[in-house]
Amino acid sequence: MLVSAVTLGCALLLGQTEVPAVAGPEAPVEAPVEANAVLSSEPPRTPGPWDFQMAIPDAASPQQSNEGQALCLPLPPTPAVPSGQWRARCDDARKECLVSPAHELDSKGHENDQPLQRVDRCLPLMLTLEKALEYRLVPAIAEAPPGWYRDERGRVLQYNFDLHRRVRLGGAWAPRWLRETDGVDERVRVDFGVDLEWPGESDRLHRMTLLDTELYLGDAASYEATLLRYDFRSQNDAPLFRVTTFYGRARRFDVHANLGFWMEVLHGEQVRREDVHADFLSLAATHVTLDLWHSEDLVSYVRVRAGPSVERDRTNGFFTLVPAAALEGDLTLDRDGFHHVRFGAEAQKVLLAERVEGRPLRPERLRLRAGYEVIALAINDQPVSLTLDGRGTWRDDVANAPAGWEWSAQAGLRFSLWAPARRSAPASAPGKG
C-alpha cells in the first residue's frame, strides 16, 4: 500500500505542473471597479474545484482499515473542519478514498484541538484538490486498533479487556459465618495485586501474579498474601498413549497429557477464630499440573495439580511439610473478556509437625472457592468490575479452636489498571465480530 500511496502522490504532484504561457502582447489592464458601480447582470460563475466541501462522517459511515498507510490529505476549510486536515486511505483500483477528519469532533460536529488518538502517523503528501477529485472521496470513520472502537466523532474507546494482564485494586463486603458458634463476623475485604500473562514457544502460556494480597478488616481482622505465583500450561500434540478399539470398524483414540508447572513463593496467612489465632508462612510450593481441558488459546482451563510445600508455623515456631492436591478452573466466558468464572477445591495435610496441645498431630485443611467477575463500566478505558465470591474452609490446625467449617460470601468492586485488549481481540467494532 505504501508503494501505491507514493505512486498516487507522484501522480498528483505531476498533475500540478503548469503549461508555460506563450509570449505575446501584454494584455490590457482593466480599470478598477468603483465602489458605486452598478452590479453586472451576468449569471454567477460555475463553482470551481476549490469550492469543494468535504462532508464529515456519521454513524453509518464506513470505517477505515488498519492495513496500509494513511495519507495526509489537505482539503479546503469548511465550517466543520476549518483546519482542512484530513486522513485518507485510498484504493487505487477503485479510484476511491475513505477520508476522515484528523481531529476529534465536538457534540455539534465541529473539530476541536484534540488530534485522533491511537492512530498511526499519516504520510505527508502535498496534493492538489483538482487531482484528489479524480478519486471518489467517501466520508469515513478513522481506523481503530484491535479491541478498540471509534465513534463518528473520532473518539476512541476500548471494548475488549484482558483481565489476566492488569494491576488491580478492589474492596468487598465479606461477612463470615462460623458453623460451630453460629456467630457472624462483620468484615470488609481490601485486595490488590499484579497479574501478568504472556505466550511462550511450543504452544505454551505463562502466568505470574505478584503481591496478591487480601486484607480483612473489622471483626476477626486477618490477611492472606502471596509474594509470587507462577505457572505455565502447554498443548502437547504428541499423544501420551493411543487406545484402539475393535468393536466394528477399528478406531483409534489419542490420550494427551498436557502437563504444566505451578509454584508459589512466600505465601502468608493469618487465621482468627474467636479468641485464638494462628500464623502460617509457606516458604515455597511446587506442583505439577495436568489440564483436563483448556481452550485453544490456553487462557481458559480446568486442571488438577498436586505437590508439596515447606511451611513455617510461626505461632508454634517449627517447620512442616504440607502436601496438597487441587481441582481448579479459570474460564473466560466471552470474546471481549467481560465475564470470568473461577473455582477450586484444595486439600492439604500437615506433616512432620511437632505435637501441639489442643490440635491433632497431623492437621488437615480443605478449601472451597467459587467466584464470578463481570466488567460493569470503564473509566478512562480502565475497567471497573463487579465481583461475587463464595468461600468455605474446614481446618483443625488452630490450637484450642473447634474444628469445623467457616463460610464467607463476598461482594464488591474491583478497579483494574493497565488492562490491554486480549491478544485474540478482533479488529471489527463491538457487535460486528
What confidence tens digit (pLDDT) does each residue in 166-178 have? 999 999 999 999 8
In a domain, 350, yes or no: yes
User: What confidence tens digit (pLDDT) does each residue in 353-389 have?
Assistant: 999 999 999 999 999 999 999 999 999 999 999 999 9
* pLDDT tier at 223, thresholds 50, 70, 90: very high
pLDDT at 428: 66
Q: How many whole angstroms separate alpha carbon 151 and alpha carbon 61?
A: 10
Q: Count how many domains the chain has.
A: 2
Same domain, 81 and 188: no
5: pLDDT strictly greater than 50: no
- Which range among 13-27, 53-67, 95-109, 130-144 shows the weakest confidence by mean pLDDT? 13-27
Same domain, 294 and 213: yes
Q: Is the dihedral of CA 316, 322, 328, 330 positive or negative?
A: positive
In a domain, 430, yes or no: no
Higher pLDDT among residues 57 and 236, named by residue: 57
In a domain, 104, yes or no: yes
In a domain, 155, yes or no: no
191: pLDDT strictly greater than 80: yes
Same domain, 287 and 172: yes
Give the residue from 300, 289, 359 showing the smallest Cα distance to 331: 300
In a domain, 383, yes or no: yes
Domain boundary among 88, 120, 150: 150
pLDDT at 271: 93
44: pLDDT strictly greater than 80: no
Higher pLDDT among residues 20 and 120, named by residue: 120
26: pLDDT strictly greater than 70: no
Same domain, 129 and 173: no
In a domain, 433, yes or no: no
Q: What is the DSSP letter of 48?
A: -
In a domain, 31, yes or no: no
Q: Is the dihedral of CA 85, 87, 91, 97 positive or negative?
A: negative
pLDDT at 52: 67
In a domain, 46, yes or no: no
Same domain, 263 and 355: yes
Same domain, 200 and 112: no
Same domain, 272 and 390: yes
* pLDDT tier at 326, thresholds 50, 70, 90: very high
Percent helix, strand and coil across the chain, each rounded to 5?
Answer: 5, 50, 45
Give the residue from 158, 157, 159, 163 showing the smallest Cα distance to 339: 163
**CATH code for the domain of 352:** 2.40.160.40
Same domain, 227 and 304: yes
Q: Cell triple for residue 350? A: 500437615
Q: How many whole angstroms separate alpha carbon 255 and alpha carbon 3?
A: 51
Q: How many whole angstroms separate alpha carbon 216 and alpha carbon 269?
A: 11
From residue 77, give the alpha-carbon distance in Å to each of 80, 96, 103, 127, 134: 8, 21, 13, 15, 19
Q: Kindly write down the DSSP assignment for every residue of 223-290, as one continuous string.
A: EEEEEEEEEEEE---S-SEEEEE-SSS-EEEEE---EEEEEEEEEEEEEEETTEEEEEEEEEEEEEEE
Same domain, 146 and 184: no
Same domain, 245 and 329: yes
Average pLDDT over residues 95-100: 92
Domain interval for residue 94? 2-9+51-150
Do residues 265 and 227 touch, judged by C-beta distance below 8 A?
yes
pLDDT at 433: 41
Q: Is this structure's pTM higher than 0.75?
A: yes
Q: Cell triple for residue 197? A: 500473562
318: pLDDT strictly greater than 80: yes
